[in-house]
Chains A and B, each alone.
Chain A
Amino acid sequence: MSRNIHIKQRPAVIGAGLTLFRRRMLETPKELAWIAAKQALDEAGLSLKDIDCIVIGSAPDTFDGVHMKGEYLADGAGGVGKPTMRVYVGGATGVMVPIAAWWHVASGHCNTVLAVAEEKMSNADTPHPQAVFRYIWDPVTEVPLQPNLIWIFAMEMHRYMYKCGARKEDIALVSVKNKRNALDHPAAQIAANITVDDVLKSEVLVWPVQLLDISPVSDGAAAFVVASEDIARRQTDTPVWIDGVGWALDTTSWTNRDLAFPEYANVAAQMAYRMADITNPRKEIDVAEVYDPFDYKELHHMEGLELAKKCEAPKLTKEGVTQRDGDLPVNPSGGLLGVGNPIAAAGTMKVAEIYWQLAGKAGRRQVKKPVYTGLAHAWGDLMQASTVVIMRV
C-alpha cells in the first residue's frame, strides 16, 4: 500500500448529532435517522440541499426487521435523489461509516457527506432481541449447536483473565468508570453511580459475564457531516480532520484465534496509524473512544490498539489513567456501557464524541487535558472485525 500523499481533498467532520439511546423508542427507524441527521446538519450549518452524498451504517437487517435496510433508511437519512451507500461490518459498522465518508470526500467524488447510523434493536425478537444472534453462526458447523453470543464472549473474557491474571474486580472498574462518565451524557440510557461491588453482585449471565459487565439493548441513531477542506473552513472554525482510517476483518473461524489478544484490532490500528503518521500511539493519542460492549473489551481493545502494552490495561485503569481527568481518557462519553448500544449508532456515537472532544464542544464531558488527536474504534462480526479512525484538530 502506498503512503497517502496525494489526497485530493482533506475530509473534516464539521457537525454531529445523536438521538436519545433508549430501549423501546416509539419513533420508526427512519424517524430516528432523521432526528440525528438534522442535528448534524444544524451543527454544520448546512441543509440537505448542500449535501452531495449519503453514507448509511446499520448492522443486521433482522434488528429493524427490514430487508435491504439501507434502501429503507435512505429517506430518513436524507438520501432522496442522492447517491446513497450503506456499509456494513456487523458491530464495527459505526466506525466504518466515517471511513466510507472519508473516501467519498478524499477521492473528490463528493464534497459533502451526511453519514448516518441507525439501529432499532428492541422489537427485533421475543423474548429478547439477542435471539437474532442465533443466525450469525456458520449454518453447517455451528448453528446446530445453538450457541448464544454471550457464551463466546465469556470464553474470551475467561481467556483474557487467565492470560493476563486480571481479576473480576479490576475489570469491573471499567463498568464503574463508563457508567459514571455517562451521567454527563444527555442521551445516556444506563448512566449510574455504581461500585465494583454492585458489578460483582449483579446477575450472572454466563460466567464470568455478569449483568453489569454488559451493554444494554438500545434504539438510537447518530450522524455527522463530513466536508472537504474548503467547505469545512467556510463552515466552522473548529473542523476536526479525519487523518487516518484503518480496518481489518479476521478469519470467520473464531475458534482458531488467539482469544487473549485482538490481532484484528491491531492490524486495523496499524493501518490508521501509518496513514496518520503516528509512531507512538500511547503518547500521541490524547483521547480515545474504544469499543466497550463488555467491560473487559475496553481493556482488550486498548491493548490491541497499542494504547496499553499487553495485559497492561487493567493496571492503567486501576491507576486512573483512563479516567476523564487522567493521562489517557478512554470513553469519556460513557461508552456503550453507559450511553447504550444501538449497534451501528453506538460506534458512530463514539466518532461524534471524539469530534466534540477535539472541537472543545463536549460540555460537561470535556476531558481535563487539552486534546489534539483522538481515536474512535469499533468492533464486530464474529469477534473478528475492527474499524479505527484517527481524528485531529
Chain B
Amino acid sequence: MSRVAVIGIGWYGFRPVVEDASFRELMFEAAARAYEDAGGLNPRTDVDAFVSCQEDLWEGIAIADEFAPEPIGGALKPVFTTSGDGLQCVANAYMMIKTGQFDVVVAESHAKPSDIINMHDVMLFAMDPLTVRTINTPNYHALAALEAQAYMSRYNVSRETLAHVVVKDKRNALYNDRASFGANLTIDEVLSLPYSVSPLTKLDIAPFVDASVVVVLASEDVARRHTDTPVWIDGIHWITEDPSLEFHNWEFPVHAMRAAEAAYKMAGIQDPIKELHFAEVDSRYSFKELQFIEALKLAPIGEAHKLLLEGAFDRDGLFPVNPSGGALGEGVPLEVHGLARLVDAVLQLRSEAGRMQLSRAERAIVHSWRGLPTTTSVVAVLSR
C-alpha cells in the first residue's frame, strides 16, 4: 500500500487584518506558493482532486463551496468542501490517495475573520438552538472558562501555570516569521491583567488572524518524482466526542485522546514521548495546550503542568511543544488552524524552519481542535 506524503505547502497572510487581498486572492497566493513548493506543479494537469475546508457562516456566504475551484486551479475538476478543520481535509486527501484512485490531492483552507463584524452572534449560532443558544451567554469564551475551571480544580493546576504557557508560546513566536503575536513577557505581566472570563485573561485567549494555507499531498511514487524532501503522513485520525455540551467531559478532552490513540496505532507508535521529537498542538486557550499535551500522551494525565514548569516543553526542552508559538503566538485562522500547525511541523521536519528550527526534528505530531463549542479533534503523525 502506497504511503502518503506532503510534497508542497504554501501560505499567505497570518496577519490580524489582510487588507490587500480578498479571501479568493488569499487562496490564490497560498496555492501558487504550494504548487511552486511542490516542484512547479500544474494544478490543471497534475492534480487529481481538491479538498477545501470552510464553513458557511465564517464566510458569510450561504454556499461558500461555490467559490472553491478557481483560486486553486480546480475549475471543472473534482473539488469539494469539507465543513471542518483543515486537517480533516488532509485526512480526506489521505484516504483518497490510499484508495489508489488518486495520485495527487490538494487540501486548502482559508479564513478572513477580520471581515466578520458579528463574531459573537456567529458563535451563538454554533450552539444548540434549544438548549445552549438560549442561555445567550454574553461572552462565548465563558464555555472555555468553565472547562478551564473544571480542569484546574480537578488536577490542581494553578493560574501561574497558565501564564507560563502564554509566556512560552509568545516567546517561541518571536522566532516564527508567520507569527503576529510574539512577545517577551514575564509571568507577572500576564497575571496582572484583568480577567476576560475568569480564569482567562486576554493573553490566555488566542486572537484571530486572516490566513490561507494550501497543502499538496501525493502517493509515494509521485512524491518521489516531485520532491527530495517528502514529509510522510504515518497516521491520521479525527474524533467527535459529543456535540451536546451538557454531556461531554469538561475536565479532559477525550476526543483528542481517542484521535491520538488511533493515529499512534496507524503509525505504530508505542511510546510517543520517546518516538516523537516535537508536537504542534492546539492552544486556542492557554489551558488547552496542557490538556492536549496530556490527551496526546506526551505527559501523564494531570501532570503536564508540572512538566511545563520544569521546562520540558520549551524549545530546548525534553519535548518541545508548539515551537512555532502555536495559536497563542500565531493566532487562530478559523478552519486553517490545523493546516497552520501542519505547515510549522513540515518546515521543521524539512529543516527549513529558519530561526525556529529545532535541533532534532524527524518525527512529529500535529493536533487541532475545532474550537468552541465543538468536541472534534484531528491528530496526525508526520515523519521525515
Residues of A within 8 A of B (CB): 1-2, 4-8, 28, 54, 59-62, 65-75, 79-90, 96, 100, 102-104, 106-109, 132-136, 138-139, 246-253, 263-264, 267-268, 271, 275, 380-382, 384-385
Contacts and interface: CB of A to CB of B under 8 A. Distances in A.
Contacts of B76: 248-251, 263-264, 267
B352 interface: no
Given A88-B81, A252-B67, A72 B243 contact: yes
A106 B128 CA distance: 34
Contact of A7 (B67, B68, B101): B101
Given A71-B370, A83-B238, A248-B77, A103 B69 contact: no
Given A80-B241, A81-B255, A96-B80, 8 more contacts: A7-B100, A60-B56, A71-B375, A72-B128, A82-B240, A252-B67, A267-B77, A384-B69
Interface string B118-148: 0000110110111000000000000000000
A73 B376 CA distance: 13
22 contacts: A4-B100, A7-B101, A61-B57, A62-B56, A65-B125, A67-B122, A71-B373, A72-B243, A81-B255, A83-B237, A87-B80, A90-B66, A106-B99, A107-B94, A108-B98, A132-B62, A134-B62, A136-B66, A253-B70, A381-B66, A384-B66, A385-B65
Contacts of B123: 67
Interface string B53-81: 00111001111011111100011111111
B104 to A, nearest CB: 9
Contacts of B55: 61, 67-68
Contact of B240 (A65, A83, A96, A384): A83
Nearest to A253: B70
A382 B80 CA distance: 13
A70 B237 contact: no
B153 interface: no
Interface of B: 1, 48, 55-57, 60-63, 65-70, 74-84, 88, 91-92, 94-103, 122-123, 125-126, 128-130, 237-244, 254-255, 258-259, 262, 370, 373-376
Contact of A89 (B81, B239, B375): B81
A123 to B, nearest CB: 10
Contacts of A68: 55, 57, 83, 126, 370, 374
A92 to B, nearest CB: 8
A103 B75 contact: no
A89 B56 contact: no
Contacts of B125: 61, 65-67
Given A75-B243, A85-B88, A251-B70, A70 B78 contact: no
Contact of A139 (B61, B79, B83, B373): B61
A107 B99 contact: yes
A370 B55 CA distance: 43
B374 A136 contact: no
A139 B112 CA distance: 14
Contact of B62 (A67, A79, A81, A135): A135
B167 to A, nearest CB: 32
A62 B59 CA distance: 12
B242 A61 contact: no
B299 to A, nearest CB: 23
A253 B71 CA distance: 12
A65 to B, nearest CB: 6
Given A1-B48, A107-B99, A89 B82 contact: no
> Counting chain A CB atoms within 10 Å of each CB, which of B66, B81, B238, B239 scores highest?
B66
A103 B89 CA distance: 13
A70 B83 contact: yes
A136 B70 contact: no
Contacts of B78: 246-249, 268, 271
B99 A8 contact: yes
B225 to A, nearest CB: 13
A66 to B, nearest CB: 6
Contacts of A54: 240
A70 B259 CA distance: 18
A250 B94 CA distance: 24
A230 B96 CA distance: 21
A381 B67 CA distance: 9
Contacts of A28: 130
A69 B56 CA distance: 10
A199 B96 CA distance: 44
Contacts of B243: 71-75
Contacts of A108: 1, 98
B80 A88 contact: yes
B44 to A, nearest CB: 13
Contacts of B129: 65-66
B265 to A, nearest CB: 12
B171 to A, nearest CB: 33
A86 B84 CA distance: 7
Contacts of B95: 103-104, 107, 109
Contacts of B69: 249-252, 384
B88 to A, nearest CB: 6
Contacts of A79: 240
Given A83-B238, A89-B80, A103 B96 contact: yes
Contacts of A96: 80
